[in-house]
Amino acid sequence: MDSYDKELEQKVPDFEEKQDTHSKEISNLNISSAAYSTQIRGWKQTVGIIAVAIFVIGLWELLVRVLNVPDFILPPPSKIIVALVTSFPNIYQHLLFTLAELVSGYLIGAAVGLIMAAVLTQMPFIEKIITPYILILVTTPTIALVPLLMLYWGFGIGPRIFAVALATGPMVMINATTGFRRTDLAKIALAKSYGASTFQIFYKIRFPLALPMINVGLLVGGIFGLITAVGSDMVGGKIGLGNRISYYASLARMSNFFAIILLVALIGISIWIIMTIVGNKTTNWSE
């Protein structure tokens, strides 16, 4: 045992002080992260958000009709809603396909990202070796790899799932690793003094304290996965929401085009809502 560990064991940790410090870190995270910074609190905020939405949509509808803007340039919101409802029987199979590749790739990427984060936290030497390659994956647009994947694996759902997993995994891994490394060393030293194993320290201390950052990684990974899934549908194949976007744009059917855009936006909002609810449930101890 080195001198650093001895100093930690000899000093009785002041957990109240540490908890306050950690709460401040979580508070800063809430301000900086998309998962927590836009939480709706109270009926006044809800009414305000609805009022702004009504104003923007109403102004859009009014200006388009007053200025006689052609539908193939910018349709009014009312026609976009009508196009979404009337064409939904022809769209739902594309919606299901995109959701299937998104959910499958997301689950695979998130699982691999969490496992790699746990391994890297326990093995810093391996982290130094593979970190440059992870950075390459993060900085390289995954959608650029889709044509290559389809060249080898065809235009089915397999290459798209793999692309979504590549977009999701690094985001989850980076945020989870950051969360695992923010663990209070005094808590780890105290656990070791009671004979806790490495797995127990990880399961009982590191993982719970890392949940806020893990949730942020899952949220960001979900958004990146959605973008990659839609982009993959655009690149090749005859099914998927991205394919419908390209199809309607080529025909200048802008009402249908914006209807698909609205559908994609609703999926993204759903991801944010789900991860916010999950985050509130798993990190309520930090409040």
The token pair that represents 136 in the structure block: 């390459």
Distances in Å between the Cα of 79 and the Cα atoms of 57, 252, 260 are: 12, 14, 13
Mean pLDDT of 64-92: 91
CB of 171 within 8 A of CB of 138? yes
pTM for this prediction: 0.78
CATH T-level fold of 77-286: MetI-like fold (1.10.3720)
Per-domain residue ranges for the chain? Answer: 36-69, 77-286
Minimum mean pLDDT among 30-34, 53-57, 197-201, 207-211: which range?
A: 30-34
Q: Which residues contact 181 (CB under 8 A, 6 or more apart)?
A: 121
pLDDT of residue 22: 42
Q: What is the DSSP string of 75-131?
A: --HHHHHHHHHHHHHHHHHHHHHHHHHHHHHHHHHHHHHHHHHHHHHH-HHHHHHHH
What's the Rg (C-alpha) of the chain? 24
User: Which residue has better confidence, 236 or 180?
Assistant: 180
List, for residues 215-225, the tens digit of each pLDDT value.
999 999 999 99
List, for residues 24-46, the tens digit of each pLDDT value.
443 334 433 444 445 556 677 77
List, for residues 122-135, the tens digit of each pLDDT value.
887 787 888 788 88
Q: How far apart are CA 214 and CA 222, in angstroms?
A: 12
